[in-house]
Structure 1
Amino acid sequence: MTPHPAAPSRRALLRALAAAPASAALLGGAPGLLGSALAAAPPSGSATRYTIVPFLDSDDGTVDVYQSDDATDFRLLRASAYTPPAGRIRDASVLRHTDGHYYVTYTTRTWQDTSTTIGFARSADRVGWTFLYDYTVPLPGLSRAWAPEWFVDGDGSVHLVVSCSTTDNEWIFTPYLMRAADSALTAWTSPVALVGIGANHIDTFIVRTGSTYHAFPKNETTKYIEYATASHLAGPYTIRRTGDWAGWGGYREGPALVQLDNGTWRMFFDGYGDGTYYYSDSRDTFATWTAPAALPAISGRARHFSVVKETVAGGPSLARNVTRSFRSANYPTRSWQQQSSLLNLPVVSGSSTAAQRQAATFTVVAGLADGGGFSFRDASGAYLRHRDFRARFDVNDGTRTFAEDATFVLRAGTTAGSVRFESYNHPGHYLRHYAYQLRVERANGTDLFRQDSSFLPVTAWA
């Protein structure tokens, strides 16, 4: 929750701007939830759904709701979905509770004001929200309670991690843990400081894998997101990584993690120093991370969010162990066709030669790397895979790399009956035609990209 867009010390800025109007600066961060869903491609007829509830870069009095099927291409579900009856709404962390409702908890005041409460609201459908209550955090001498983050433990217990400061030093924040004392989420245990993370850390986000708790707090002195582990939720935590250990750079805050369908952990964080919202992926349980990439479409608009991941009904379906051809959704005379091992998008019709029609016919099979995904085989037995991000057909060499290169996750397309194919090992990248060639490219949040990556499974040409 550092002032945006300025990047100097939080304490120096806040003290200097204490008399400034509420519009002078915005604070950001990101709330959290245990990534407990099993990592697997969604079953046919189902879909993965990610929901975020960010406040706006231009307005901390309301929140939007966005959803995505791939945690990359978020689309607006409802603008200004919830406005609290009083105060502000910042740093909204979202939870799907066991009662079937969605809950957000949030910071209730601007960064200038004393803020001893956190807010709660509930929704049955993620679109309409009802204010529940403001809760005064019972911490002696409390000055500010910021960025409450949900955490659900393996036993189902619901917790909040709240960044709190006291009046003796109102800009030095420490993470505190509270547990829900009832299933209605209206009563909470007394806050207890997380042992081992220490003061001057904010926006702590926790996930659990096996018996290990992984915490990602922002160090307010260095302005880097750190990494700590513990064998108990309350600690003691050992800080394992400091500085620019993950290659994300400085002046990053509000980490929020979710586990994608292929098991990759994705972190979202607010680059408040440059006005960009980023994501970065780890496939080795947080040891290494991909270079941070700007989140398409909502980067520069959304601030401070966490993610709810669900598997929902009504997703696309595609039969396996059958032959199909695939027609472009936005260039309906053109179809997938293998040409010298490469996959292109030429015009294919009933007047095409038998060889051309055969080259546009493929057998759909279960994904080589994940049976919930899909792979495609030509008449010779070679598989469609990406190499250097170009779509091509090669003989299966039996390696894990090949299996992942040749596996795609089914997503809904832009027109009725159309589907999109997301790369299994490069989440957020899709089979997309460009200059009538098929490539695997990163989604950019545009309608054109969605159309170029949508295809209709049709009766096989051969």
Structure 2
Amino acid sequence: MTPHPSIPSRRSLLRAAAVVPVSALVLPTLPGLLGTAAAAAPAGASATRYTIVPFRNSDDGTVDVYQSDDATDFRLTQASAYTPPGNRIRDASLFRHTDGYYYLAYTTHTWQDVSTTIGFARSADRVDWTFLYDHTVPIAGLSRAWAPEWFVDGDGSVHVIVSCSTTDNEWIFTPYRLTATDSTLTTWSSPVALSGLGANHIDTFVVRTGSLYHAFTKNETTKYIEYATAPSLNGPYTISRTGDWAGWGSYREGPSVIQLDNGAWRIFFDGYGDGRYYYSDSYDTFATWSAPTALPTLSGTARHFTVVKETVSGGPVLPKNVTRSFRSVNYPTRHWQEQSGLLGLPVVTAASTAAEKLAATFTVVPGLADANACSFRDASGNYLRHYGFRGRFDANDGTTTFARDATFVARTGTASGSVRFESYNYPGRYLRHYDYQLRVDPADGTDLFRQDSSFTPVTAWA
């Protein structure tokens, strides 16, 4: 398989070596989760913010900053936000420290070169970055130190997990832990290999749930992301999932895992074999995963990133237990209206009949599955829910499935005062109009989709 165009993968040589025998070759609120906000929809006037700082497919000398409110539709915040004073910047891992600053740790050289250091930079606002230092990883005979990943443990200790190889076999990597020995993150412990993962694993990303540590790590021989667990950060890890166990395919790297607002876990990974960037979701704590989906705005542009999740101010305000009508942003004469039990978007005016106005009036209530989110009730007491990804109204049957189908997370819309409604149980899908029918469709990253899915709450027609 040939490298992706422009900047070749730092594993291009490793892919070629796969045919050769190995012998020949912010704010952490959940333990161990980097900058993770609580798993619940944001309260009124607040918003979820996901930040990534990837290097470019076309240029590994700089990084850009993107942000998203749904972990799916990422928008460029700052181009060329940080360019190190020397060397390169690849595989940048991001977290927010207790001092309020955001920190990057990154690979300092391209894959062809010997690379015995990892770089560090700092920012107060995620946009303007200051180079801190390059840290030489003290391993005898070190050839390459790649892909440092932040990990904050439950006791607040800060670690970097870095993949290292030595000169006796520069393409066989082992994950090591470095621990910050001061709060300024300027001094580090000696490297300790993570027990149980073994050699030839790279891009190891760890999250912790309760007392269990979960490692997602790329097997550089098979090119699959594997899964392991351990009772401590150092291990011993037991690898329990290998091969294409999650259906993500091969030639995947750079896993990063975050918890979404609805409690699901999302993994992001670089599909360097086909030039796409993917995500996949798990609702059973990593046992099974959804089919991988390409990120709409990042594929082919961004490379190898981690994600910081925060709750910030400035989100939409949608009062509960009040009646409202909902006007389309890009078709302002059209409003939500119940039509034969389905949700449509016809023209509604002062000249409309009383029945038409009543059908365009809804009560906003706390979300059935999450009170911070919202649900919508019609005049007869039925709830708006998706069924076959079509918006329709049904009586609440009291099931968890119905509650989740009828719950939507309010996200900021494209016009002042407008709101977008993300499906609670299908994150990344939004209520949007298509042929003047309301569907729950996946965000495609376009401005047209954002406008089609933006609605302004207005005074109720009835």
- The offset of 1:433, in angstroms, is 0.3
SS state at 2:225 partner: coil
CA distance in 2, matches of 1:407, 1:15: 47
- The offset of 1:155, in angstroms, is 1.0
Amino acid at match of 1:262: N
CA distance in 1, matches of 2:237, 2:161: 14
After TM superposition, the structure 1 = structure 2 runs for residues 50-449 of structure 1, keeping only pairs within 5 Å, are: 50-449=50-449
- The offset of 1:4, in angstroms, is 3.9
- The offset of 1:3, in angstroms, is 5.4
SS state at 2:14 partner: helix
CA distance in 2, matches of 1:252, 1:357: 52
Among the aligned pairs, what percent are the same residue?
77
The one-character-per-residue Cα deviations of 1:32-70 (angstroms, maximum 9, x if unpaired) are 954753200001000000000000000000000000000
* Structure 2 contact 36–310 (Cα < 8 Å) conserved: no
CA distance in 2, matches of 1:9, 1:74: 27
Amino acid at match of 1:259: Q
* Structure 1 contact 203–218 (Cα < 8 Å) conserved: yes
CA distance in 2, matches of 1:133, 1:35: 22
* Structure 1 contact 279–294 (Cα < 8 Å) conserved: yes
CA distance in 2, matches of 1:163, 1:224: 16
The one-character-per-residue Cα deviations of 1:249-275 (angstroms, maximum 9, x if unpaired) are 111111001110000100000111101
- The offset of 1:13, in angstroms, is 3.5
Amino acid at match of 2:48: T
Once superposed, what is the RMSD of the aligned Cα atoms?
A: 1.6
- The offset of 1:335, in angstroms, is 0.1
CA distance in 2, matches of 1:393, 1:304: 42
* Structure 1 contact 254–304 (Cα < 8 Å) conserved: yes
Amino acid at match of 1:442: P
CA distance in 1, matches of 2:368, 2:177: 43
SS state at 1:358 partner: helix
CA distance in 1, matches of 2:452, 2:200: 47
- The offset of 1:303, in angstroms, is 0.1
Amino acid at match of 1:184: T
The one-character-per-residue Cα deviations of 1:362-412 (angstroms, maximum 9, x if unpaired) are 000000000110000001000000000000000000000000000000000
SS state at 2:254 partner: strand
How many residue pairs end up in the alignment? 446
Q: 1:9 to 1:106 in 2, by over 3 A?
A: closer
Amino acid at match of 2:317: S
CA distance in 2, matches of 1:107, 1:12: 19
CA distance in 1, matches of 2:316, 2:96: 23
SS state at 1:288 partner: coil
* Structure 2 contact 48–310 (Cα < 8 Å) conserved: yes
Amino acid at match of 2:277: Y
* Structure 2 contact 35–96 (Cα < 8 Å) conserved: no
The one-character-per-residue Cα deviations of 1:202-257 (angstroms, maximum 9, x if unpaired) are 00000001110000010011110000000111000000100000000111111001
CA distance in 2, matches of 1:358, 1:161: 58
CA distance in 1, matches of 2:217, 2:12: 16
> Which of 11, 26, 29 is the equivalent residue of 2:14?
11
CA distance in 2, matches of 1:323, 1:413: 20
Q: What corresponds to 1:28 in structure 2?
A: none
Amino acid at match of 1:281: D
Amino acid at match of 1:205: F
Amino acid at match of 2:143: S
Q: 1:15 to 1:195 in 2, by over 3 A?
A: closer
- The offset of 1:140, in angstroms, is 1.1
- The offset of 1:12, in angstroms, is 6.2
Q: What corresponds to 1:23 in structure 2?
A: none
Q: TM-score, normalised by structure 1?
A: 0.94
Q: What corresponds to 1:21 in structure 2?
A: none
- The offset of 1:122, in angstroms, is 0.5
SS state at 2:99 partner: coil
Structure 1: stretches of 5+ with no match in the other structure? 17-31
CA distance in 2, matches of 1:362, 1:15: 59
Amino acid at match of 2:60: D
Amino acid at match of 1:147: A
- The offset of 1:10, in angstroms, is 4.2
Structure 2: stretches of 5+ with no match in the other structure? 20-31
- The offset of 1:15, in angstroms, is 11
CA distance in 2, matches of 1:173, 1:33: 24
SS state at 1:226 partner: strand
CA distance in 2, matches of 1:204, 1:158: 16
The one-character-per-residue Cα deviations of 1:154-195 (angstroms, maximum 9, x if unpaired) are 111110000000111111000000111011110110000000
Q: 1:99 to 1:284 in 2, by over 3 A?
A: same
The one-character-per-residue Cα deviations of 1:280-330 (angstroms, maximum 9, x if unpaired) are 000110000000011011111000000000000111110000000000011
CA distance in 2, matches of 1:285, 1:10: 34
SS state at 1:165 partner: strand
- The offset of 1:141, in angstroms, is 1.0
The one-character-per-residue Cα deviations of 1:319-366 (angstroms, maximum 9, x if unpaired) are 000000000011000000000000000000111000000000000000
CA distance in 2, matches of 1:15, 1:429: 38
The one-character-per-residue Cα deviations of 1:45-99 (angstroms, maximum 9, x if unpaired) are 0000000000000000000000000000000000011000000000000011111
* Structure 1 contact 33–307 (Cα < 8 Å) conserved: no
Residue 457 (structure 1) aligned with residue 460 (structure 2): no
* Structure 1 contact 34–208 (Cα < 8 Å) conserved: no
- The offset of 1:14, in angstroms, is 7.0
CA distance in 2, matches of 1:373, 1:168: 55
* Structure 2 contact 34–95 (Cα < 8 Å) conserved: no
CA distance in 1, matches of 2:344, 2:3: 48
